[in-house]
Amino acid sequence: MLMFALRRLGFVAVVLLVVSIFAFLVPYVTGRDPAREILQSRVAERAPDEEVLEAIREELGLNESLFVQYQRWLGSAVEGDLGYSMVSKEPVGELLVNALQITFLLTTVTLTFSLLVSLPMGALAAARRGGWLDNAIVAVTQTGVAIPEYWLGPLLILLFALTLGLVPSAGLRGPEYLVLPALTLALRPIAYITRISRAAMLDVLSSPYITAARARGLSYAKTVVRHGIRNASLPVLSVFAMWFAGLLGGSVVVEVIFAVPGMGRLMYEGVLNSDIPLIQAGLMTIVALAVVFNVLADLLYTVIDPTVKLRR
């Protein structure tokens, strides 16, 4: 167990290092001159003054070699200093933490709701395999994965905010503001988690060890509880972890549509403004979160199914 954890940690360190290089380089491959962008964003329309540009480059250390810049960036990042936004001049760390908190909240609400809907739906579909209810659930999940958020979001706003006036449509000033973005975001995880839990449950329920447990005298319901759920939860957990990590990166579409100041919107604005320190640190954070979640999920597998580590 300890060896397993250590090996995973070593793996994580390597992944993060590689990712840091890419995150650092990404803003540069766009081929735009950050100094020029910054200046233009400040003094609109006026032709940039070469002297001022040079001063900005100097200030931001953009004249040094990429390698030196990377070293300096990584060094201070490790110390917790992610630099300052080129646009707002606020510390990038603070911007990210604020945005992450909001996205984390939105993600948690979205996925809690998704699980509450999809686990019973999946189990029900499995229990009624081939019946009309099963067919209906399968059909709904198939439609669900195909509906894009940029279509569903405005539709929900139109229906629940503008027409029915039940919930606010944009901003984030209270819990009720999370309803529509969470609903919009939840559609696809609901569809996928329903599918996977249905499949996992069907798979487990037809397993020989379920028959064997019944032969020991367990009722069907107790068999499902004692020997079914634990086994069926493995594939569900991996899909869930994937969604959690993915949503933590922030959904640009949903956060922009609903004006939620989370990771998605922060990154979106960062890219629009070519805010290099923000983009770099943001990418790094998103990937690091994804990696950490994967490791957590892996560790959780070994708790649920103690034989997992032997299979790898």
Q: How far is the CB of 199 from other proteins (least distance, A)?
A: 17
Which of 213, 260, 284, 287 touches other proteins by CB under 8 A? 213
CB of 310 vs other proteins, minimal distance in Å: 6
At 91, phi and psi to the nearest 5? Answer: -65, 130
276-304 and 66-78 helices, crossing angle to 10°: 50
In terms of CB distance, is 89 or 216 closer to other proteins? 216
Which of these, 29, 31, 39, 30, lies nearest to 60 by C-alpha position? 39
The C-alpha angle 80, 85, 90, rounded to 5 degrees, equals 75
Nearest distance in Å: CB 221, other proteins: 10
Choice between 53 and 308, CB closer to other proteins: 308
Give the nearest distance from C-beta 245 to other proteins in angstroms. 24
| Residue whose token pair is 């603070």 | 94
Q: Cβ 215 to other proteins, closest distance in Å?
A: 4
Out of 80, 174, 175, 208, the only residue in the binding site for other proteins (CB under 8 A) is 208
Q: What one-character DSSP code corresponds to residue 83?
A: -
Contact 201, 123 (CB under 8 A): yes
Question: Least distance in Å: CB of 2 to other proteins?
Answer: 18
Nearer to other proteins, 131 or 171 (CB): 131
For other proteins, the closer CB: 156 or 196: 196
Ramachandran angles phi, psi of 144, nearest 5°: -55, -45
From residue 271 to residue 310, the character string flagging contacts with other proteins as x (rule: CB under 8 A) and all else as - is ---------------------------------xxxx--x
Whether residue 17 contacts residue 281, with contact meaning beta carbons closer than 8 Å, is answered with: no
Q: Residue 249 carries which DSSP code? A: T
Q: Does 131 bind other proteins (CB under 8 A)?
A: no
Please say which residue, 204 or 279, places its beta carbon nearer to other proteins: 204
Interactions with other proteins, residue window 217-246 (CB under 8 A)? 217-220, 227, 230-231
Minimum distance of other proteins from residue 126's CB (angstroms): 14
Q: What tokens were used for 152?
A: 């569903």
What 3 state SS string does 227-238 have? HHHHHHHHHHHH
Q: What's the CA gap between 50 and 62, in Å, rounded?
A: 14
The residue ranges that bind other proteins (CB under 8 A) are 207-209, 211-220, 227, 230-231, 304-307, 310-311
